[in-house]
Amino acid sequence: MTLADFEPQLLRWRHHLHRHPETGFEEVNTADYVASVLSALGLEVHRGIGGTGLVANLTVGEGKGVIGLRAEMDALAITEAAEGRAYASQTPGRMHACGHDGHMTMVLGAARLLRERRNFSGTVRFIFQPAEEHGRGAKAMMDDGLFERFPVDEIYGAHNMPGLPAGCFATRTGGIMASEDNFVIHVKGRGTHAARPHMGVDPIVIGAEIVLALQTIVSRSLDPSLPAVISCTEFITDGIRNAIPSNVVIKGDTRSYSPDVQALLEKRMREVSTGICSTHGAECTFEYTHEFAPTVNWAECVPTALAAATAVAGAGKVDGNVQPMMISEDFGAFLRIVPGAFVFIGNGDTGATGGTPLHNARYDFNDSLLPIGARYFAEIARIRLPN
């Protein structure tokens, strides 16, 4: 085999995946396709880990080290709006609008580079996870014994980033992407005639007080050097215009970069909500669910990511201290268990090719990143598994 057809092959893989998007835990054809490519490269493929997830192993030489390279397989429930795009989604209501088609292709490309160059000694595991978008797939794979069956010393991942110039790398030590938690506060008062409020317990006034008080948690309870966001996103009542309702449901979302901050937000939000309700004689139920762990890069792994990025892109295109982003990423769940690092790879400046935002119906992964990302992942393995 020769690498002469490498870049055309990356394009074929990516465009096939783009044409056939599938959402979380339904990535059946996607997993079939990825497995067939990996098998054709001569790798040992293990299917059905956490639903549609799969792992392929490549061992070269006698080295004992094991490195995991991860890609995510799911698309979004969005109808693609890209006139003239030859490889547009063939499934209405489904679209690779986050570039996971590109991420899969980069990791497949790394598999091919490492398979042909054999310039390392040890084992590389290519990990393809389902259901990243809803923050469920990493946990499903781990619950299914991912790291017991396929242990890794370190794991690496990447996400394309519109707004960052194409091919530039950015990462940082510590929190790089936020946790996402969701909350539901149910305020149960007592409905009454709108003109006779003293006969009831008004959950709207109580709920409004809760919404405002929640905003004091970040400003008054949290160390000012630690970032966090609390957003109430829904305020639902069962009332009509001339009656005070009995129930208010407040829903929302919080973000932060550390488990300690997550725990503090949950504790204070519960205290504030139940405290205000009891002051006014309403009942309160408070539910708080963890959707995404924060993505916290390990200090000992970031230098590897930076060295690999520098080898591929040149020092001028590598930022080792990027601002963290408040978006969330299921890769964080892996980093709670094993050391590793996550990088952003620029998909193109705003206004340029690749600058359309993630999750937009016109978004597209920038094909110029495919060989860059493939070389980046292969370089990680080469650095960490020297022969």
Taking the C-alpha atoms of residue 119 and residue 386, their distance in angstroms, rounded to an integer, is 8
Dig out the tokens for 158 from the structure. 């990447």
Number of CB atoms found within 10 A of residue 192's CB: 17
The answer to whether 247 and 203 are in contact (CB under 8 A) is yes
Instruction: Kindly state the smallest distance separating residue 387's Cβ from Zn ion, in Å.
Output: 33
Beta-bridged to residue 295, according to DSSP, are: 177
Spatial CA neighbour of 134 closest among 268, 261, 34, 27 = 27
Please give the structure tokens belonging to residue 102: 């590109």
Residues 6+ apart with CB under 8 A from 345: 158, 159, 160, 161, 164, 167, 168, 169, 369, 372, 373, 376
C-beta neighbour count of 145 within 10 angstroms:
11
Distance CA 154, CA 373 (A): 18
Q: Are 67 and 385 in contact (CB under 8 A)?
A: yes
Residue whose CB is less far from Zn ion, 187 or 333: 333
Nearer to Zn ion, 247 or 347 (CB): 347
Residue 98 or 201: the one with the smaller Cβ distance to Zn ion is: 98
Nearer to Zn ion, 98 or 312 (CB): 98
- Using DSSP bridges, classify how beta strands 295-297 and 66-72 pair: parallel, antiparallel or unpaired: unpaired
Q: Note the residues at the interface with Zn ion (CB under 5 A).
A: 98
CB of 99 to Zn ion, least distance (A): 6
Which residue, 95 or 217, is less far from Zn ion as judged by CB?
A: 95
Residue positions annotated with a catalytic role: 74, 132
Residue type, 89: S
CB of 151 to Zn ion, least distance (A): 26
The answer to whether residues 69 and 126 touch, using CB atoms and an 8 Å cutoff, is: yes
Nearer to Zn ion by C-beta: 134 or 270? 134
Report how far residue 159's alpha carbon sits from residue 328's, in angstroms, rounded to the nearest whole number. Answer: 11
Measured over the CA atoms of residue 95, residue 98, residue 99 and residue 103, the dihedral's sign is negative
